[in-house]
Amino acid sequence: MEGKLRVGVIGCGEISSNHVLGYLNSARYEIVALADLSEQAMHDFDKQFSEHDDYKPEHFTDAREMLEKSELDVVSVGVWDMGHAPMTIAAAASGVKAILCEKPMSDTTGSAADMMLVCRRNGVKLAIGHQRRFLPAYNLAKQMIGDGEIGEPRLITTAARDGLPNYSSHLADMYRYLLGDPECVWVMGNVERETDQWARAIPIEDKAFAVFGFDNGAQAMILSGLTSEHGFGARIYGSDGMIELSVDDLKIMNSKSDGWQEHKPDGDFAKYGFDNFEMIEAGAAQAREFARWITGEIEEYRGVATNGYKALEMVHAVYESARTHAQVEMPLKTRTHPLAEMIDSGHLPVRYPGRYDIRNRTLRGENTTLDTKNV
């Protein structure tokens, strides 16, 4: 095994802290550099991890300076969505081995495609942070479905909130993972946007309904903001049973079982029932497999960018269906942001004016909107 991988982090917010926790818990990395427009953000970041032997970062207020000077193997991109493409592209051009970019992959599918193009051109491995692919309960559900324990998978139902790209890109990725990564072949959906709501400087809807069709015959459905229910679990219906899945555990019922059978799998890095089990286990398992992929110990990585792209494409196809009032056949042809297109054209007028961002709590100082000068 090679030595520890040198990591630089772009954007010192709550998402990047999850990346770093995973890196450190996996014991495969050392954190050597941070880049953020705010010195205070980097100092606050240090307080979380300063006692760890593998955390000794230099601070930079210019990400490109960090990329030039820090001799990095890995870059984590944890800035807001519109910064994902420029920061990923800059990192790829700098000569690093691999990049972990937070979800959603980008603000448009066009810019997400550019990210993959530049990474391929420079021989850089690109991953997207859909870390729940690494949860023990998800892995067990995927195995059960693959083994035919509920017969042919027919329908997955989920409930969400807070905007499709922001929240439901995780769910779109979950559908494909549980079903063995089939292709989504069509999407139908609609949205409501009565308020001028945004998430990380990207416009989002108040409510949405969506159905996805896959090439294996299965379908999946999202209700977002329509009920009080939400979460990253699912109800999975098959021809011979069903699974109730959460981020921690699952239960299954089929023709061979005597009612519901519960399963509570522990992880390699955290025990079931431990506080924050989901984030500790998923982040560390993601980081461990990422390291094995970077170093060539494994050929395939479940968080590869093509999967992140397809999750983004699926949720943007819901907006495109609402924009065109039609079923959308995949792959998605529109490469801009379909919801933004509807807003800009006047197709989706706001009933209650007053812009607000559901993530502005993470901004620093006097800021209530994103400083976009350096993205």
And the tokens for 147?
A: 């083994």
> How much is the pLDDT for 369?
64
User: Is the preceding omega at residue 104 within 30 degrees of 0, hence cis?
Assistant: yes
List alpha helices for 94-151, DSSP H: 109-121, 136-146
Cβ neighbour number for residue 356 with a 10 Å cutoff: 11
> How much is the pLDDT for 373?
42
Q: How far apart are CA 130 and CA 110, in angstroms?
A: 20
Sketch the domain layout of the chain as residue ranges. Answer: 5-128, 136-267+305-365
Cβ 171 vs Cβ 158: under 8 Å: yes
Residue 209 β-bridge partners: 190, 223
158-217 pLDDT per residue, tens: 999 999 999 999 999 999 999 999 999 999 999 999 999 999 999 999 999 999 999 999
Q: Cα dist. 273→11, 128, 247, 249, 265 in Å?
A: 30, 27, 11, 10, 10
**% of the chain residues with pLDDT over 70:** 95
Q: Is the pLDDT of residue 372 over 60?
A: no
Q: Residue 366: pLDDT band by 50, 70, 90 thresholds?
A: low
Mean pLDDT across 11-27: 95
Q: Which amino acid does the sequence have at 312?
A: L
Strands across the sheet containing 98-101: 55-60, 29-35, 5-10, 74-77, 98-101, 125-128
Q: Which single residue is written with the structure tokens 């297109």? A: 341
Cβ 52 vs Cβ 23: under 8 Å: no
Q: How far apart are CA 84 and CA 105, in angstroms?
A: 7
Mean pLDDT across 328-345: 97
Mean pLDDT across 115-120: 98
> How much is the pLDDT for 374?
39
CA-only gyration radius of the chain, Å: 20
Cβ neighbour number for residue 163 with a 10 Å cutoff: 27
In the DSSP assignment, the letter for residue 14 is H
CATH number assigned to the domain covering 5-128 = 3.40.50.720
Largest CA distance in the chain: 62
Fold of 136-267+305-365: Dihydrodipicolinate Reductase; domain 2 (3.30.360)
User: Is the preceding omega at residue 331 within 30 degrees of 0, hence cis?
Assistant: yes
Q: Which amino acid does the sequence have at 359?
A: R
| 34, 35, 38, 40 alpha-carbon torsion, rounded to 10° | 10
If DSSP states are collapsed to H, E and C, what string results for 166-214?
HHHHHHHHHHHHHCCCCCEEEEEEEEECCEEEEECCEECCCEEEEEEEE
Q: How far apart are CA 7 and CA 25, in angstroms?
A: 14
Cβ 294 vs Cβ 5: under 8 Å: yes
Cβ 84 vs Cβ 203: under 8 Å: no
| Mean pLDDT for all residues in the chain | 95
Q: Is the pLDDT of residue 371 over 60?
A: no
Cβ 195 vs Cβ 212: under 8 Å: no
Q: How far apart are CA 298 and CA 187, in angstroms?
A: 33
And the tokens for 264?
A: 């509570």
Q: Residue 85: pLDDT band by 50, 70, 90 thresholds?
A: very high
Residue 132: name the closest of 245, 291, 260 by CA.
Answer: 245
> How much is the pLDDT for 292?
98
Q: How far apart are CA 370 and CA 356, in angstroms?
A: 11
> How much is the pLDDT for 2?
64
